[in-house]
Structure 1
Amino acid sequence: MNKNWPHNGQGGRDSGVEGAPAGRVSEEGRPPDELTRLLPNRLDSTPYLSPDDPAVSPYNLWTVRIVRILTVVLACIAFLWWVLLLVSAFVTPPGLHVRGSPFFAFGYASIALLILVVELLFFAAPSRSARVLSLVSAVLLLADTIIILAVHKTRHEEVWVGVASVAWATLVAVWAIVADRTVQWGKREEEERLTGREETRRTLLEWSEVLLSSLALGLLAVAVFLMTCTLTLRALDARLGPPGERYWVDRDKYQIHLYCHGNKLDAHGNKTTTVLFEGGEDAVEWGLWQFAENALQNGSISRYCFADRPGMAWSDTSPSPLSMSMATDALSETLSRAGEEGPWILASAGIGSLYSRIFSSRHNQEVKAILMIDPLHEDLLSRVGDAGHGFYLWFQGVISPLGLGRILGAIVRGRSAADRIWGRASYQSGSTIFAKLQESLVADSLSKRDVVSSRVIQDRNTPVVVISSGEKIRRDSEWEEKQRDLTHITLNLEDWDIVDKAPHQVWRTFEGREMIERRLRKLVKLAGRG
């Protein structure tokens, strides 16, 4: 045992002054006053203190204090960056547009901020476990940085915002290791100077702090691991190319995917009528694409095209806010860049019918007919723009980088890249969720105004066909009323069909597909005679 170690908790030596605080007397032996040195001189380490004395603290060292100040500064910067990315999901500031899922950049910003918060909360309780967990996070974040930069598609989608966010999170994780190691060194240094040896025991409070910090950093390491797995899936999915071409729109801010199939000219050299499909709640590729191919093979139509709305399938996301009118402008620009001029028959489903109606009102001369499959009415946009629905979409987006459903789907259910991009698992994609969130945010305001305006300027002679879901009508009387109203958007109603046993996606039943194809064939012949 160190001969200078205090055995009785009274400073380890006789104070020489009765009633004076043990271990806290001046060199002359008088009681302490305002001029008395509270800590022993570094050159004179004989008057050792108790390890539990508050004066035994790593904060005595300027190095530790500077590290803490720098950590606070980094936390402030991380918070500002986090707030900026949070706001950009609703209103995108200039230069902060992410072409893929903005939730990935937000996720990395959240990881960086939480690491710094944990470091500050438990700054004076360094531990090996905290350093190991921070090292694991740093290695995974470095791997994410490499993946984003190495794969063209992820680099295109994340742009500088995502790259900066993941690189920032990597540096923060490394800084947490440096800060924790510095505090550990300062703690040992002060214990050896003030108590005579490095303290190996911990108080209950210190053990609690170590446990909480390790638990928090462990959860963050798990979150980073899941994000790495999701990013790896995105990189693997990049090998599946789009069937069509992608075109820059909106002053080259993002790209829209367009696919066309069929003959532009008939046997007599005349332009054929092209059916322009617009998806509903899902991408066109999920169901309607196969229907269009079958209709083409059956000779019901001669040619068809479809474009993915921003954020859906192979199209990039657009800056926020994005109204239906703005999305329609992107479609018009895409068709123009691709050299597609119509004439068009618009075939749309669900909420996609609203986009088609806006497109029709702006291209009255080129649009020869409108076919709507269980369309959504503008008066029901309040259901899409409900605040609770919007918050649910935002929460889904925030946790989407963890990819729990996508990872399990790939491992357990054998989900393919096509499933994740446009198929049955596409609703789990961060870009798709963001597209739905953008749609919800302005559904009952900007978008509703766009649709109401389009109804006023719509050509009243355009032929219209409405095909409704019998199941939906039976469940929702308001839906039936609005379906009836949509038959009057022009003065030229060709047919209103109710497919009795069909769901909202009418084409998923044989009777529904037969009805849609029959009406399309009729409209194509009608457009040919015109």
Structure 2
Amino acid sequence: MAHGERDRAGGRYSSEEDLQPAPSEHTRLLPNRVDSVQYLSPDDPAVSPYNLWTVRVVRWITVALAMLTFVWWVLMIVSVFVTPPGLHVRGSPFFAFSYASVALLMLVTTLIFFAVPSKSQRILSIVVAGVLLLDSIIIVAVQRTRHEEVWVGIVSVVWASLMAIWSLAADRTVQWGKAEEEERLTGRPESRRTLLEWIEVMLSSIALTIVAVIVILMTLTLTLRALDAGLKPPGERYWVDENQYQIHVYCSGDRVNAAGERVTTVLFEGGEDAVEHGLWQLAENAVRNGSIHRFCFADRPGMAWSDTAPSPLSASIASDVLSEALTRAGEEGPWVLASAGVGSLYSRVFSSRHDKAVRGILMIDPLHEDFLGRIGTAGRGFVLWMRGVISPCGIDRILGAILRGRGSADRVWGRASYQSGQTIFAKLQESMVATSLTKRDVAASRAIQNRDTPLVIISSGVQIRKDREWESKQRDLSHLTKQLRSWDIVDQAPHRVWDTLEGRQLIEEKLARLVQPWP
């Protein structure tokens, strides 16, 4: 019907506007140009994939997913410092945090460069998604990693892989929408890019390449964790704290002597290192030499084969879970407590709560509670947190395994254990409450300590010469009880006194005296 012609049937005029089809996904957003018969310039702002409701919906969903991921990411940060109910991870909480960070980075990158799809982004998203799916399989398939990551870590890695797949789908959708609108409005899909678009493609590719490298490093670290799971602990793990996590306990030697009497067991507490790193060998030699008959040790939460505990973790909580683990292991003492460095603080709390079962205390270059401020500085805590954040990449652990031949034992309880997120988290927990909860626990333990308990202190001569206050604080600790048997200084010994022959011999000699009645 011609324009302006009267509709004979209805008796009214019709126009071309009346004959236009109903709005659809391809309807232009600029109505003043709908009737134009000429194609638009590719640089016209009207040529945009946002013209399609499908593209707009995908962007809205991406924003919603990013907000949801951000909430989870914040929860992962909070759980490092104060563990919310149900979010406790028995291994390193930094792995779950890293997967949440990867998911958030993928979504943020997708949103920032949403209107500029590229093949490189899609390829990198495929790589990231594939590697994350491999991580999911490793975590679920290996019993130890599944036990450590629990549902928090599993959900984090699965969510990260789904977000990588979504980023791929979003980029592909925008690519389709861009081609559709360009062909409809300009006559052909545009293959050229502006300088700004090339810059955006380059930046997005760099960002996703960094994410891909991080994810690959995390996979290699996770593979090392899976290999280390094959290293069986010498003792057993026991559930503690309402079956939230497990503590490793190892005992060796005879429970009774030749006369059928119950022997005194030496309970070792590690210092800055796990007991397995030095003191274990000393204890085994002491049993072989007949200096002592039996010994036990339990790894503190997060050390060696023990799971990490929820935050915060104070000395009293650590002492309680030690008591529970020993009880579940059927170990009741009597005890001679042998501890080193910062571990002496934990032993003192344990002694004050089990005074009838403790027959002696031996402290090896012990840390005084007045020095807890050195452990609990804000700077040290921040450094530990940063080390924990990057620990899932495991660059030092990977290079150590490849170039230095470091094995599972070194990574679980040796020097390389300081590179693991689990040990770093344990040190961070120790630092966070050092000057508050732990210092209060130690002060309380000193007030209720049995004053008749025999006490031996062995100090490092090197440490005393290096730190003027160290000697005065060692002297103060010699007054912990009224029964000081001896205070010895090993002149050439470092803080780890047992690293010297003289130090090992002296420790073994003093232990032999403590487990036997003193004249």
Task: Name the TM-score, length of structure 1 as normaliser.
Answer: 0.92
Of residues 125, 128, 134, the one that matches 2:119 is 128
Task: State how 1:170-189 maps to structure 2 within 5 Å.
Answer: 170-189=161-180
**4+ residue runs of structure 1 moved beyond 3 angstroms?**
none
Q: Deviations over 1:389-436 (max 9, x none)?
A: 000000000000000010000000000000000012000111100000
Of residues 63, 66, 81, the one that matches 2:54 is 63
> Which residue in the other structure is 2:196 paired with?
205
Is 1:95 the counterpart of 2:96 in the alignment? no
Residue 448 of structure 1 deviates from its aligned partner by 0.2
Match of 1:38, SS state, is helix
Task: Name the TM-score, length of structure 2 as normaliser.
Answer: 0.94
Of residues 83, 99, 108, the one that matches 1:108 is 99
Contact 2:314–2:437 (Cα < 8 Å) also in 1: yes
Match of 1:240, SS state, is coil
Is 1:308 the counterpart of 2:299 in the alignment? yes
> Which residue in the other structure is 1:40 paired with?
34
Contact 2:30–2:46 (Cα < 8 Å) also in 1: no
Output the CA distance in 1 between the equivalents of 2:94 and 2:256: 44
Task: State how 1:338-487 maps to structure 2 within 5 Å.
Answer: 338-487=329-478
Output the CA distance in 1 between the equivalents of 2:294 and 2:120: 63
Residue 301 of structure 1 deviates from its aligned partner by 0.5
Of residues 230, 253, 261, the one that matches 2:244 is 253
Output the CA distance in 2 between the equivalents of 1:37 and 1:147: 55
Of residues 148, 151, 156, the one that matches 1:165 is 156
Deviates more, 1:321-330 or 1:46-55: 46-55
Output the CA distance in 1 between the equivalents of 2:469 and 2:48: 70
**One-letter code of the match for 2:127?**
V
Q: Deviations over 1:166-211 (max 9, x none)?
A: 0000000000000000000001111111111111110000000000
Output the CA distance in 2 between the equivalents of 1:373 and 1:356: 11
> Which residue in the other structure is 2:21 paired with?
none
Q: Deviations over 1:503-527 (max 9, x none)?
A: 1000001111111111111111227
Is 1:156 the counterpart of 2:150 in the alignment? no
Q: Deviations over 1:268-293 (max 9, x none)?
A: 11100100000000100000000101
Is 1:262 the counterpart of 2:253 in the alignment? yes
Output the CA distance in 2 between the equivalents of 1:57 and 1:310: 56
Is 1:503 the counterpart of 2:485 in the alignment? no
Of residues 65, 75, 84, the one that matches 2:75 is 84
Output the CA distance in 2 between the equivalents of 1:377 and 1:125: 60
Q: Deviations over 1:284-335 (max 9, x none)?
A: 0000000101111111110000000000000000100000100000000011
> Which residue in the other structure is 1:12 paired with?
none
Contact 2:270–2:340 (Cα < 8 Å) also in 1: yes
> Which residue in the other structure is 1:488 paired with?
479
**One-letter code of the match for 1:354?**
L
Sequence identity, in percent? Answer: 70
Q: Aligned pair count?
A: 493
Deviates more, 1:518-527 or 1:114-123: 518-527
Task: State how 1:287-298 maps to structure 2 within 5 Å.
Answer: 287-298=278-289
Deviates more, 1:510-519 or 1:139-148: 510-519
Match of 1:489, SS state, is coil
Task: Show structure 1 runs of 5+ residues with no match.
Answer: 1-25, 28-34
Residue 36 of structure 1 deviates from its aligned partner by 7.9
Output the CA distance in 2 between the equivalents of 1:164 and 1:408: 29
Match of 1:215, SS state, is helix
Is 1:190 the counterpart of 2:181 in the alignment? yes
Residue 480 of structure 1 deviates from its aligned partner by 1.1
Match of 2:31, SS state, is coil
Task: Show structure 2 runs of 5+ residues with no match.
Answer: 1-15, 18-28
**One-letter code of the match for 1:248?**
W
Q: Deviations over 1:82-127 (max 9, x none)?
A: 0001000000000000000000000000000000010001001100
Output the CA distance in 1 between the equivalents of 2:440 and 2:341: 18
Contact 1:40–1:47 (Cα < 8 Å) also in 2: no
Of residues 89, 96, 108, the one that matches 1:117 is 108
